């Protein structure tokens, strides 16, 4: 039993932001019930890896959960959902306000059934404003943050392959749930939580936005270089790529010593501080590129580590799975799941608690817990059998 044991969460989320928010709560003991269509929600089958077509996104985002599969459009299905809401502490839904209201998941409808409920609404653009009803996914949040504009080259911006806006929104929403639960212990009153991809994206990119608002530098993309440090870039070695991040005078002095060129770099006014090194980063990257080209990836990383300069390898997904530091931190935890030829290595909650660590259990099969959940609501075997015959479950 984790620290959130006794907290019931209904997860109406899809894809990443909503499901990952609920998964983080499940990691620490909350009872999370994933509610989906009888045939399974679309996000169950993206990037398929099992014999039945279930995907890696579903497996990763739905660890530690129960599954209730039913026809949410039927009157009997809606009645079951209403009964569940009356027992829940938290409801998570990532959809527009209009779609939530249609399903009875808007805050007003929820509080009629459970006055102290905590309702998490995750949308693309928030609940107000001219874009409130527009649809969006992670990449839309990325490009509207200002960050993609500053990434890549002037000829071609690049979004991140990792859906950081989705994950950031989930993290913020899960944090807000904990705050709301804590506050409810004092007041006895629940509240509505509104999170959006746009809000997360703008917040995470807040530093360059603040700089633009106050100083208007109108920055342009620099590839992989940094605006305010150097050499901060990606560099090709004989057998791969590495990254360095040299920021602050002490680190730059160490780098100059590693190059064997302290006099050249430490006395040149073009490299006197981080801002200057960012402005003249192309020259620093050129020198570092030459140095790296003469070495293997491991040779370069070992030399940089010995000089106490931050650096790391550009890893493929397989190299991440195999990396000794990833294994040492127990970040990937194997679970068995039907239809897989080997255990699925699911990422654990990244914050490691000393007394109440997270748990990692297998995600649910479609409808795996339907009978158990209905029985907990008072349905007897005959009633459950009728629901199945009627196509509700």
SS3 call for 274 = helix
Cα distance between residue 338 and residue 367, in whole Å: 14
Cα→Cα distances 26→14, 29, 370, 385, Å? 16, 5, 18, 29
Cα distance between residue 375 and residue 378, in whole Å: 5
| pLDDT tens, position by position, 202-221 | 999 999 999 999 999 999 99
366, 52 in Cβ contact below 8 A? no
| pLDDT tens, position by position, 144-191 | 999 999 998 989 999 999 999 999 999 999 999 999 999 999 999 999
Residue 70 confidence (pLDDT) above 90: yes
Residue 309 confidence (pLDDT) above 90: yes
Locus of tokens 């039993």? 1
Q: Phi/psi of residue 233, each to 5°?
A: -175, 175
SS (H, E, C) 324-368: HHHHHCCCEEEECCCCCCCCEEEECCCCCCCCCCCCCCCCCCCCC
Cα distance between residue 153 and residue 151, in whole Å: 7
pLDDT band at 52 (very low <50, low <70, confident <90, very high): very high
Cα→Cα distances 214→176, 275, 278, 281, 360, Å? 30, 17, 19, 24, 45
CATH number for the region 8-204+327-389 comes to 3.40.50.10540
**Strand 31-36 relative to strand 8-11: parallel, antiparallel, unpaired?**
parallel
Output the pLDDT for position 195. 97
Which of 104, 98, 99, 102 has its CA nearest to residue 84? 104
7, 30 in Cβ contact below 8 A? yes
Output the pLDDT for position 102. 87
Q: How many other CB atoms are there within 10 angstroms of residue 9's CB atom?
A: 24
pLDDT band at 393 (very low <50, low <70, confident <90, very high): very high
**Strand 241-245 relative to strand 232-236: parallel, antiparallel, unpaired?**
antiparallel
- The rounded percent of the chain whose pLDDT value lies above 90 is 95
| pLDDT tens, position by position, 236-285 | 999 999 999 999 999 999 999 999 999 999 999 999 999 999 999 999 99
For the segment 226-238, the average pLDDT, to the nearest whole number, is 97
Which of 249, 222, 235, 250 has its CA nearest to residue 291? 235
Cα→Cα distances 82→14, 105, 367, Å? 20, 10, 18
Cα distance between residue 372 and residue 66, in whole Å: 10
Q: How many other CB atoms are there within 10 angstroms of residue 377's CB atom?
A: 13
For the segment 295-299, the average pLDDT, to the nearest whole number, is 98
Cα dihedral 138, 141, 143, 145 in deg (nearest 10): -140
Output the pLDDT for position 226. 96
Output the pLDDT for position 9. 99
Output the pLDDT for position 326. 96
Residue 1 confidence (pLDDT) above 90: no
Cα distance between residue 66 and residue 291, in whole Å: 53
| pLDDT tens, position by position, 75-125 | 999 999 999 999 999 999 988 888 888 889 999 999 999 999 999 999 999
Output the pLDDT for position 145. 98
Residue 314 confidence (pLDDT) above 90: yes
CATH number for the region 232-236+241-313 comes to 3.30.1540.10
Strand order in the sheet with 90-94: 66-69, 31-36, 8-11, 90-94, 118-123, 192-196
Q: Phi/psi of residue 244, each to 5°?
A: -125, 155
CA 88 and chain centroid, separation: 24
Instruction: State the average pLDDT for the chain.
Output: 96
For the segment 363-373, the average pLDDT, to the nearest whole number, is 98
The tokens describing 348, both together, are: 């654990």
Give this prediction's pTM.
0.94
Domain residue spans in the chain? 8-204+327-389, 232-236+241-313
126, 196 in Cβ contact below 8 A? yes
The tokens describing 188, both together, are: 């006895």
């Amino acid at each position: 039993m984790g620290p959130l044991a006794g907290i019931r969460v209904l997860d109406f989320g899809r894809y990443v932001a909503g499901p990952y928010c609920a998964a983080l709560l499940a990691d620490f003991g909350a009872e999370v019930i994933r509610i989906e269509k009888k045939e399974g929600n679309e996000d169950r089958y993206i990037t398929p890896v099992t014999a039945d077509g279930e995907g890696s996104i579903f497996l990763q985002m739905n660890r530690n959960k129960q599954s209730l599969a039913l026809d949410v459009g039927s009157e009997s299905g809606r009645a079951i959902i209403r009964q569940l809401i009356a027992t829940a502490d938290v409801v998570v839904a990532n959809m527009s306000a209009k779609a939530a209201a249609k399903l009875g998941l808007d805050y007003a409808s929820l509080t009629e059934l459970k006055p102290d409920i905590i309702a998490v609404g995750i949308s693309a653009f928030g609940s107000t404003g001219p874009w409130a009803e527009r649809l969006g996914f992670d990449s839309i949040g990325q490009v509207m943050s200002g960050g993609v504009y500053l990434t890549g080259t002037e000829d071609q911006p690049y979004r991140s392959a990792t859906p950081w806006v989705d994950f950031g929104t989930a993290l913020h929403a899960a944090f807000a749930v904990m705050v709301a639960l804590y506050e409810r212990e004092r007041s006895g009153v629940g509240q509505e939580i509104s999170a959006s991809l746009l809000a997360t994206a703008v917040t995470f990119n807040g530093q360059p936005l603040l700089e633009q608002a106050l100083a208007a530098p109108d920055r342009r993309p620099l590839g992989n270089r940094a605006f305010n440090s150097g050499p901060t870039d990606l560099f090709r070695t004989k057998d791969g790529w590495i990254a360095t991040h040299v920021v602050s005078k002490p680190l730059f002095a160490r780098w100059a010593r590693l190059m064997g060129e302290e006099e050249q770099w430490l006395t040149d006014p073009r490299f006197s501080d981080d801002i200057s090194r960012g402005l003249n980063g192309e020259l620093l990257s050129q020198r570092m590129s030459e140095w790296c080209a003469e070495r293997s990836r491991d040779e370069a990383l070992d030399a940089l580590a010995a000089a106490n300069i931050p650096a790391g390898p550009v890893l493929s997904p397989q190299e991440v799975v195999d990396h000794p530091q990833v294994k040492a931190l127990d970040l990937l935890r194997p679970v068995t799941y039907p239809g897989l030829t080997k255990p699925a290595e699911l990422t654990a909650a990244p914050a490691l608690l000393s007394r109440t660590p997270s748990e990692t259990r297998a995600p649910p099969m479609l409808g795996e817990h339907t009978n158990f959940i209905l029985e907990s609501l008072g349905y007897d075997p005959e009633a459950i059998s009728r629901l199945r015959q009627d196509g509700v479950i």
